[in-house]
Structure formats: C-alpha cells, structure tokens
Amino acid sequence: MNGEDDAVPEAVAPDETGLLLSAAPAAPSVGPAQGPRRPCLVVLQGPYEGRVLRLWPGEHWVLGRGAGAHFLLEDDGMSRQHLRIERVGEAFVLEDLGSRNGTFVNERPVTRHVLEARDVIRAGATTLLRLTHLDPLEEEMHQRLHAAASRDALTGVFNRRHFDERLASECAGARRHMRPLSLIMVDVDNFKRVNDSLGHPVGDAVLKGVAGQLSAAIRREDAVFRYGGEEFAVILRETAMDGALVLAERLRAGVASLVHTGEGVDRPFQVTVSVGVATLATGMAEEGLVFAADQALYEAKHTGKNRVVTRA
C-alpha cells in the first residue's frame, strides 16, 4: 500500500474489563452492537489488509506462512511458524517462535510480550496487526471490506490486484530462501462460444464452476486467482516443475469432468481448459514468470487446447 493508506489508525483505551476496545479502522456506523465483543486480530497493513482473524475458540494461535499455522499470512519475510498468541486469563501474550526476521511490537524486537492497547505488531515485510474486540456485526463489516478489496465478485477467488501483490511477495520469498515456486495459468477453451450461444448467465455459472474446481484441488498454502475474463492463475509455493505439472494435469482433468447446465440449456454440457505452467528460474522477476506461463498457455491454446504445456 502507498501514501495515506499506510497510516496506522489510532488505538483507543481499554474498557472497564481491561480488554481492548476496537483499535481497527472504524467500520461504518450500522446501528447498535450485535452480540458479545470477541477477541480478534485485525490486519492493519499488508497483503491481507482488513482481514479479521478471530481468536476463538482455543487458547493459542500460530501465525505464519506454513501449513501448520492457524492463520496463513503470505508476506515476504514471514516464517512458516512466525509467532504465537496465547490467551492467559484475560491477557493475550505474544511469543516469537524463533522466526528468521523477528517479531516487532511498536517497532521494537520482542521474544515475548503482553499485548497492550496501543501495541502494533509487525511480522514479515509489510504486515501490521493489532488485537481488538469486535461484535459480530463489526466483524462482518471488516470481512466484507476485506473481501471487496481482494476477492473477485463473481467467482469468489482472489482478484487480479491480490494476484500482483501475492506473486511479488512469493517470488521475493522464494529467492530469499532459495525455494522453488511455480505458476499455473488456466484459460477456459471456447468460452466466447458459450457466452454467445447460451448467454452470459450460463457463462458466469461456468466460470464459478471452474473456479470452484480449481480451489478444491489445491493445497491450503496455494491460491487461485481470477486473472481476467475466463483466465485464472494458481500460485504454487515450494513446488518445482514436476509437482506443478502433476497438479496442472489434475486441474485440467477436473474441469473437463464438470457437467454444466442452466436455464434455457437444452442439454448438459462440458468445457475444457488449456493450461500453461512455469517455474521461477534464477534471476527471474515475477514479470518473467508470468510471461513464461503465458507463453506456455498460448502454445496450449494453439496446439489443440485441453492440454498442459510447460516452460522451464
């Protein structure tokens, strides 16, 4: 984020219980509070800005970029299991889990810290978080704002803006830790024909179905994005070409197996996808990775469709 969007909102004082009141960006006024206020972490800045991480149920929560974390935060410099927040009575205690780049509270490095009202937590290159308490209505408002900024309205997968941010972070992390990273580009074959012959509502339903199939096939640490139109992207962390190729073929076959229908459709039909796969090479920028995957996708589209093509 740039400019005024980087500003960290002011916190408010604890209430009479000693717990934090909402220190997150003020949500639009929507009437009286609905239900009890519950402890949450709100992402103030970073790739997941606006996201609410509910600290309930449970007694401790691990944040990081690995599959073992309770909350996945994709940010350059974030360790697999970066920090833990533990509830001790009515207090919340933060503990760094030996992260590579450290955890900071109010820009001071900490190994263990009892969180207070004005504390801002920094982990990774850009992520800032703050503990707060939200009632269900406030929490829903924050989640809606986050979804509007990062999700595609039609399919529910991540949008192009979030793709650009996530890919930059993933490439930086892969280079820093010398780990593989792969990108899959997926394009629905003959989609214009579907729209023209069956109508846009049916076409929209096809895109939703494809997005759902892609999302169901990936790992928790991977992510699906709507890149534009009928094109999707899948970022695969710590995955070399052989693993990416296996998943790409699974995605292609999974989409081909879907049966679509809709209002005004005489009989069920199926669609196929063309798939391009590329792996981050030494010295390659994220733009180069996208270009390589796009070139592979172009070849797949022009050599028969419904197939997977790779680029090293």
Alpha carbon 182 to chain centroid, angstroms: 16
pLDDT of amino acid 146: 67
pLDDT of amino acid 4: 35
* Residue 277 reports pLDDT greater than 60: yes
Copy the structure tokens of residue 16.
């009479």
pLDDT of amino acid 46: 80
CATH superfamily of 160-311: Reverse transcriptase/Diguanylate cyclase domain (3.30.70.270)
Whole-angstrom distance, CA of residue 132 vs CA of residue 31: 19
Whole-angstrom distance, CA of residue 231 vs CA of residue 120: 38
10 has catalytic annotation: no
Higher pLDDT, 241 or 173: 241
pTM: 0.67
CATH number corresponding to 3-146: 2.60.200.20
Q: Which residues pair with 105 in a beta bridge?
A: 108, 121
Whole-angstrom distance, CA of residue 262 vs CA of residue 285: 42
Higher pLDDT, 132 or 67: 132
Q: 259 in helix, strand or coil? A: coil
* Residue 37 reports pLDDT greater than 50: yes
- Convert the pLDDT of each residue in 87-128 to its tens digit: 888 889 999 999 999 999 999 999 999 998 778 999 988 899
Contacts of the segment 101-105: beta carbons below 8 A, 24+ positions apart:
101/77
Domain with CATH 2.60.200.20 in the chain: 3-146
* Residue 25 reports pLDDT greater than 50: no
* Residue 62 reports pLDDT greater than 80: yes
3-state SS, 170-213, equals HHHHHHHHCCCEEEEEEEECCHHHHHHHHCHHHHHHHHHHHHHH
Whole-angstrom distance, CA of residue 144 vs CA of residue 52: 10
Kindly name the residue from 221, 230, 231, 238 that is annotated as catalytic: 230
* Residue 180 reports pLDDT greater than 60: yes
pLDDT of amino acid 24: 34
On whether the CB atoms of residues 36 and 56 are closer than 8 A, the answer is no
On whether the CB atoms of residues 306 and 272 are closer than 8 A, the answer is yes
> Omega into 268 within 30° of 0, i.e. cis?
no
Domain with CATH 3.30.70.270 in the chain: 160-311
- Compute CA distances 190 → 56, 186, 208, 251, 271, whole Å: 46, 13, 16, 17, 8
Tell me what the pLDDT averaged over the chain comes to.
85
Among 300, 162, 292, smallest CA distance to 228 is for 162
pLDDT category of residue 169 using cuts at 50, 70 and 90: confident
Whole-angstrom distance, CA of residue 3 vs CA of residue 7: 8
